[in-house]
C-alpha cells in the first residue's frame, strides 16, 4: 500500500470512529481485569488503551483482580489455598497474602499509568490514579457449615466520593479488598467489586477484560450479544465453563440493576477494549437489558447522527445535499437504526397522498455495518410506514443503487409516473433512475 492509500484509509478510519467518540464522551465506564492480565505482561498496553479512553473524555474507573498474585504469595509462604464451592476461604495468613498482592498490583498499575515517554501513545497523558477506602464490605459468613472467614462481599461503594474525582479527570482504581465499620479488611472478588461499582456509579458500561476466550454456545457458535433474559437462560442451562458463567452472572446482575451495557472481552486480542468500544461488532460479548438494535422513528436528537451518515454520500454524489435545517424540519419523515447509542442507518419517507404514493429517500447504512441485512430492515420498516399511511406505491430515485432496489421488488419506471409535485422537482442534470414498488 502506498503512502497516499494509507492516509486515505487512516482518515476514513478516524471518521468512522467519530460517532462513538461523540456518543461516549462524558460517559462512565467501569473496566475490570483479572490478575492474569498483569501476569501475562499486558498491563503497559492496557494502560495505554485506557489512557486513550480517558483522553477521549470517558470517565474511567478500573478494578483489578489478584488471584494468581495471591496464589504466588501463598506459595512463597508454603501455604495451600483453601476453597469452598469455588470461593476462597481467607484466613488471617491468606489475608496477608491478599494485602501484599493488592499493594504490589496497585503500585504496578500506578507505574503503568505514569508512562509518558515522547513518541509513545502515552506522551503528554499525565493521568492521576486515585485509590482509597472506597469499598465497604461485609463477611460472606458461614456457608454449608464452612466459615469463609475474611472472604467478603461488597456492601457499598463510595460513589459520592468517586464521582467528583472522575469528573475532575482522575482515574479511580479499586482493589478487590473492602473495609468494614469494625475496621477489618475483607477479601472480595474483582467481579463483585466491579459490578457493585458500575451499579452505584450508574455507569454506562461495565467491561470485564477476561482471560477466558470469546463466549460460545454448546454448538461452538460465538455469542456476541445477549439480552439479560437470554443470558439468564444460558446460565440456567449450565453449559458454560464456571469462569465464563461467573463473569456472565455479574454482567446480568449489572444489567438488571440499571447498567445499560455489560461486556466480556478477551484481553488476549491486542487492543480489545478499543475494538469493543469503537467498532460496530466489537470483539467480545455484550449483555444489555433490552434488544440492542432498535429501529424507530427519528427524533430531533438524531439529527447529528443522521448528518454524519449522509455527509460522505453527499461528498461522493450518491445523495443530494441536505442542510441541517432541512433535516431538522423533516425529522418526522426519518427512521433510524441505533446500536448501543450510535445511529448507523437511516431512511426518510415522503408521502404523496393525492397519488397514493410515497418516496423513500436517504436510505443509508454506515459502511462498517453494511451487508448484514439492515438496509433491508430499513426498507421493510419504511414500506410498513407507507402502508400504515394507506399508500399503495413506494418509489425511489437513485443514481448508483439501482440493483439493490431491483433485487428487492422495485421495477424501473419513468419520471412521468411520479406524483406531479415530485416531477416538477426532478433534477434533470442528476438523471436519477426511478424505481417503483407496489405495496
Ligand atoms: C444501499 C445500502 C443502504 C444497503 O445497506 P445494507 O445494510 O448493506 O443492505 P443489506 O444488508 O440489506 O444488503 C446488502 C446487499 O446489497 C448489496 N449492495 C450494496 N450496495 C449496492 C449497490 N449500490 N448496488 C447493488 N447492490 C448493492 C451488497 O453487495 C449486499 O449483497 P449480498 O446480500 O448479495 O451480499 C448501503 O449499501 C448504503 O448505505 N449505500 C450508500 C448509500 C446509498 O447508496 N443509498 C441509496 C441511495 S438511493
> How is residue 324 annotated by DSSP?
H
The CATH number fitting domain 294-438, selected from 3.40.630.30, 3.40.80.10, 1.10.1060.10, 3.30.1330.10: 3.40.630.30
Residue 292 confidence (pLDDT): 59
Cα angle at 344 between 427 and 1, to 5 degrees? 85
The whole-angstrom distance between residue 244's C-alpha and the CA centroid of its chain comes to 19
Report pLDDT for 363.
97
Q: Tell me how far the alpha carbon of residue 319 lies from the centroid of ligand 1, in angstroms.
A: 14
Tell me which architecture the domain covering 19-291 has in CATH. 3-Layer(aba) Sandwich (3.40)
What's the gap in Å between 386 CA and the centre of ligand 1?
21
| Residue 92: Cβ-neighbour burial (10 angstroms; 0-12, 13-18, 19+) | exposed
- CA–centroid distance, residue 376 to ligand 1 (Å): 9
Pocket lining: 400 vs ligand 1, CB cutoff 6 Å: yes
19-291 and 294-438 share one fold? no
Query: Using CA positions, which residue lies closest to atom 27 of ligand 1?
Result: 404
Residue range 384-426, pLDDT digits in tens: 899 889 999 999 999 989 999 999 999 999 999 999 999 999 9
CA distance 5 to 11: 10
372 lines ligand 1 (CB under 6 A): yes
Please check whether residue 226 is in contact with residue 232, taking contact to mean a CB–CB distance below 8 angstroms: no
Ranges in the chain, pLDDT < 50: none
C-beta 398 within 6 A of ligand 1: yes
- Atom from ligand 1 closest to the CA of residue 318: 44
Residue nearest to atom 18 of ligand 1 (CA): 404
Ligand 1 touching residue 420 (CB < 6 A): no
Q: Measured from the CB, is residue 373 less than 6 Å from ligand 1?
A: yes
DSSP for 356-392, please give it.
TEEEEEEEEE-GGGTTSSHHHHHHHHHHHHHHHTT--
Residue spans per domain, the chain: 19-291, 294-438
- For the chain, report the end-to-end CA distance as a whole number of angstroms: 47
pLDDT at 289: 76
pLDDT score of 210: 98
236 lines ligand 1 (CB under 6 A): no
Q: pTM of this prediction?
A: 0.69
pLDDT at 340: 75
372 C-alpha vs ligand 1 centroid, how far in Å?
10
The residue assigned the cell 426498507 is: 379
pLDDT of residue 291: 60
Predicted pLDDT at 294: 82
**Phi, psi dihedrals of residue 15, rounded to the nearest 5°:** -65, -35
Which grid cell is 304? 447529528
The residue count of the chain comes to: 439
- Classify strands 433-438 and 393-398 as parallel, antiparallel or unpaired: antiparallel
Q: What is the rounded distance in angstroms from the CA atom of residue 117 to the CA atom of residue 312?
A: 37
Question: What distance in angstroms lies between residue 368's CA and the mean position of ligand 1's atoms?
Answer: 12
46-58 residue pLDDT tens:
999 999 999 999 9
Is 77 near ligand 1, meaning CB less than 6 Å away? Answer: no
Whose C-alpha lies nearest to ligand 1, atom 26? 404
- DSSP H or E stretch at residue 191: helix 190-200
Nearest CA to ligand 1 atom 33: 371
For residue 396, the ligand 1 atom closest to its alpha carbon is 48
At a CB cut-off of 8 Å and minimum separation 6, what does 387 contact? 439
**Closest ligand 1 atom to the C-alpha of 399?**
48
Whole-number Å distance, alpha carbon 64 to ligand 1 midpoint, is 44
Which of 308, 344, 371, 372, when mutated, tests ligand 1's pocket best, judged by the most ligand atoms within 8 Å of its CB? 371
Amino acid at each position: 500500500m502506498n503512502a497516499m492509500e494509507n492516509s486515505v484509509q487512516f482518515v476514513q478510519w478516524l471518521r468512522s470512529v467519530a460517532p462513538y467518540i461523540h456518543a461516549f464522551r462524558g460517559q462512565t465506564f467501569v473496566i475490570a481485569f483479572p490478575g492474569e492480565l498483569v501476569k501475562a505482561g499486558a498491563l503497559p498496553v492496557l494502560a495505554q488503551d485506557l489512557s486513550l479512553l480517558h483522553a477521549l473524555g470517558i470517565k474511567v474507573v478500573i478494578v483489578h483482580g489478584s488471584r494468581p498474585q495471591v496464589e504466588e504469595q501463598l506459595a512463597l509462604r508454603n501455604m495451600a489455598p483453601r476453597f469452598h464451592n469455588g470461593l476462597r476461604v481467607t484466613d488471617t495468613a491468606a489475608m496477608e497474602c491478599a494485602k501484599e498482592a493488592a499493594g504490589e498490583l496497585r503500585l504496578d498499575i500506578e507505574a503503568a499509568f505514569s508512562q509518558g515517554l515522547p513518541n509513545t501513545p502515552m506522551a503528554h497523558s499525565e493521568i492521576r490514579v486515585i485509590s482509597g477506602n472506597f469499598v465497604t464490605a461485609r463477611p460472606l459468613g458461614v456457608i454449608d457449615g464452612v466459615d469463609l472467614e475474611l472472604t467478603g462481599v461488597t456492601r457499598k461503594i463510595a460513589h459520592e466520593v468517586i464521582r467528583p474525582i472522575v469528573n475532575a479527570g482522575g482515574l479511580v482504581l479499586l482493589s478487590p479488598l473492602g473495609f468494614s465499620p469494625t475496621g477489618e479488611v475483607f477479601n472480595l472478588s474483582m467481579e463483585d467489586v466491579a459490578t457493585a461499582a458500575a451499579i452505584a456509579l450508574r455507569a454506562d458500561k461495565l467491561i470485564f477484560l477476561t482471560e477466558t476466550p470469546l463466549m460460545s454456545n454448546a454448538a461452538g457458535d460465538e455469542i456476541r450479544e445477549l439480552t439479560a433474559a437470554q443470558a439468564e437462560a444460558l446460565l440456567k442451562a449450565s453449559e458454560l465453563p464456571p469462569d465464563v458463567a461467573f463473569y456472565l452472572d455479574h454482567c446480568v446482575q449489572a444489567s438488571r440493576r440499571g447498567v445499560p451495557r455489560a461486556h466480556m472481552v478477551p484481553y488476549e486480542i491486542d487492543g480489545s477494549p478499543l475494538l469493543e468500544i469503537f467498532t460496530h461488532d466489537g470483539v467480545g460479548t455484550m449483555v444489555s437489558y433490552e434488544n440492542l438494535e432498535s429501529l424507530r422513528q427519528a427524533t430531533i436528537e438524531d439529527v447529528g447522527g443522521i448528518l454524519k451518515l449522509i455527509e460522505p454520500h453527499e461528498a461522493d454524489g450518491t445523495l443530494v445535499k441536505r442542510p441541517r435545517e432541512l433535516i431538522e424540519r423533516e425529522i418526522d419523515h426519518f427512521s433510524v437504526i441505533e446500536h448501543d447509542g450510535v445511529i448507523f442507518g437511516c431512511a426518510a419517507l415522503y408521502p404523496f397522498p393525492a397519488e397514493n404514493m410515497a418516496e423513500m429517500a436517504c436510505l443509508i447504512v454506515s459502511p462498517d455495518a453494511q451487508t448484514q441485512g439492515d438496509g433491508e430492515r430499513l426498507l421493510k420498516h419504511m414500506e410498513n410506514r407507507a402502508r400504515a399511511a394507506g399508500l399503495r406505491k413506494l418509489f425511489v430515485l437513485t443514481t448508483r443503487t439501482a440493483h439493490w432496489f431491483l433485487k428487492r421488488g422495485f421495477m424501473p419506471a419513468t419520471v412521468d409516473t411520479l406524483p406531479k409535485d415530485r416531477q416538477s422537482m426532478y433534477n434533470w442534470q442528476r438523471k436519477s433512475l426511478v424505481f417503483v414498488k407496489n405495496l
